[in-house]
Every structure is written in structure tokens, then in C-alpha cells.
Amino acid sequence: MIVKFCGIRREEDVRFCNLLNPTMIGLIFAESPRKVEKEVAQKLLRIKSPCIKAVGVFKDQNLSDVLSISTQLKLDFVQLHGNEDIEFIEYLKTKGFKVIKAVEVENLSDIKKAAIYKGIADFILIDRPKGREVDVVALAKNVHFDFIIAGGITPENLEKYLALKPVGIDISSGVETNGIKDFGKMKLIIEKVKKYKAGEVENG
Ligand SMILES: O=C(O)c1ccccc1NCC(=O)[C@H](O)[C@H](O)COP(=O)(O)O
């Protein structure tokens, strides 16, 4: 089970992630209150444990900018949230980057659109548009390919997302308090995922 904490932007967040050891941390390079500048990202990645994969999050940015940031920072994954097409993804892959294609879903036709990235992106991330109250769990029940799920996950509602049997979970605002990463909430997520994984083994 992949666990990704997204929107990491402070050194203390990275240090705490080093203790919790999620699979990935996400740094936002798209327009957002969580956006980090390249120089800040460089500092954060310097102290990141090598066991944790670095993901850069972009949305409708031009290919040369995405490539230049990803190369300079030696990112492991590029996560694309906008209308990037298949050629965009394939080009990044020829440059050695793994790609997470995020598809922000609002209806069943968006789920169908997400399927086009099967076998092209390394992971498909089913998310909801930022600031929209979409029931992403109800929509994701119609997904018939491997996916990472995001969109409103919190320590309290994690179980209903895990019940979808995703390959991973991606959380940002649900592990924040007043816009700052909340270490108690992050720890709770990791503990709950550990219990879930142990249960999976027990139940076959
Ligand atoms: O975080 C942002 O503001 C953002 C802006 C533009 C593109 C992507 C962005 N975030 C990506 C993520 O934080 C996660 O991949 C995902 O959306 C989880 O978000 P949340 O529902 O807050 O847990």
C-alpha cells in the first residue's frame, strides 16, 4: 500500500516524514497556497530520507519547466494534475521519470477518461477537483484498474477509502490543522494503514 503525504513544505515536515517513512512525499510546484519554490524544495529534498520517494506536483505547466525542475531536483515521480496529454507523459518517461497521472473526477465520464492513462502512466490517481464536494469514493467504485485514491482522506474516514482496495492513498489537507501539517494526524494515518495491512495478511 503506497502512502503519499502531499503538500510538504517545511523542514520539520520532512524530518517527521523521515520517522514515519511514508512511501512518497509530494512537493507542490503548481499554483497553490502549498506551492514551494525550487530553492526551498532543494533544501527539503536534501534532508529527505532516501527510503522516501520524491514526487513533484504540476498542473498545466509547460513541458520544459516540468522537465527542468524535475531534472534539477532529481525527482523520482512527476505528478500531473491538469490536461497533460499522453505525449507529455511519454516524453517525461523517455527522460527517466515515473509519472503519476492525477485525474480530477466529477462524474462517470471522467472515470472513463482516466482509463486512457492505463499502461502509460506508472500510476493513475483518482482525485477530486480542489475545493469541490465530490463523492470521490462513490465514483471510484466504478474504476476497474489499479489506482491511488485521494480527495478528502482524513484519519477519521480512511477506512471507506481503503475499502475500495486502492494501490495507494494520497493525503494533504486531511493531515493538516489550520493549513499546517499535523504530526498527530500523520502518525494516525500510518498506524491505521499498518493495522489495515496486518488485517489483510490475517484474512488472506
Ligand atoms: O495541494 C494543492 O493545492 C494542489 C494544487 C494543484 C494541484 C494539486 C494539488 N494538490 C495535490 C495533492 O495534494 C494531493 O495529490 C491530493 O489532491 C490530496 O489532496 P487532499 O484532498 O487535500 O488530501
- The ipTM of this complex is 0.96
Residue 4 CA to ligand 1 center (angstroms) comes to 11
Please give the pLDDT value at position 30.
Answer: 97
Residue nearest to atom 3 of ligand 1 (CA): 32
Minimum-distance ligand 1 atom for the alpha carbon of 175: 23
Please report, to the nearest 10 degrees, the dihedral formed by the alpha carbons of residues 176, 195, 2, 149 taken in order.
-60
Please give the full DSSP string across 123-171, using - where no structure is assigned.
EEEEE--TT----HHHHHTT--S--EEESS--TTTHHHHHTT--SEEEE
Q: State the average pLDDT over residues 162-190.
A: 97
Please give the full DSSP string across 9-37, using - where no structure is assigned.
-SHHHHHHHHHH--SEEEEE-SSSTTB--
Cβ atoms of 118 and 140 within 8 Å: the answer is no
Q: Where are the domains of the chain?
A: 2-199
Give the pLDDT band of residue 200 (cuts 50, 70, 90). confident
Minimum-distance ligand 1 atom for the alpha carbon of 176: 22
Picking from 25-34, 130-139, 153-162, 175-184, which range would have the lowest pLDDT averaged per residue? 130-139
5: helix, strand or coil: strand
**pLDDT tens digits along 20-41:** 999 999 999 999 999 999 999 9
Dihedrals φ, ψ of 126, to 5°? Answer: -90, 120
Distance CA 196, CA 176 (A): 22
| Region for 152 from its dihedrals, namely left if φ exceeds 0, alpha if ψ lies in -120 to 50, beta otherwise | left
pLDDT higher than 60, residue 203: no
Distance CA 102, CA 112 (A): 13
Ligand 1: which of 23, 27, 28 to mutate, most ligand atoms within 8 Å of CB?
28
Residue nearest to atom 22 of ligand 1 (CA): 173
Residue 168 CA to ligand 1 center (angstroms) comes to 15
pLDDT higher than 60, residue 113: yes
Average pLDDT, the chain: 95
Give the pLDDT band of residue 188 (cuts 50, 70, 90). very high
- The conformation of residue 74, written as its DSSP 8-state character, comes to T
Strand duo 180-181 + 77-80: pairing: unpaired
pLDDT higher than 80, residue 155: yes
Q: State the average pLDDT over residues 52-60.
A: 98
**pLDDT tens digits along 160-175:** 999 999 999 999 999 9
pLDDT higher than 60, residue 79: yes
Minimum-distance ligand 1 atom for the alpha carbon of 32: 3
pTM metric for this prediction:
0.95
Which residues form ligand 1's pocket by a CB distance below 6 Å?
A: 6-7, 26, 28, 30, 32, 34, 57, 59, 81, 127, 130, 150-153, 170-174
Greater confidence (126 vs 199) lies with 126
Please give the pLDDT value at position 58.
Answer: 98
Question: Which H/E stretch holds residue 100?
Answer: strand 98-104
Strand-pairing partners, residue 150, are: 170
- Architecture field, domain 2-199: Alpha-Beta Barrel (3.20)
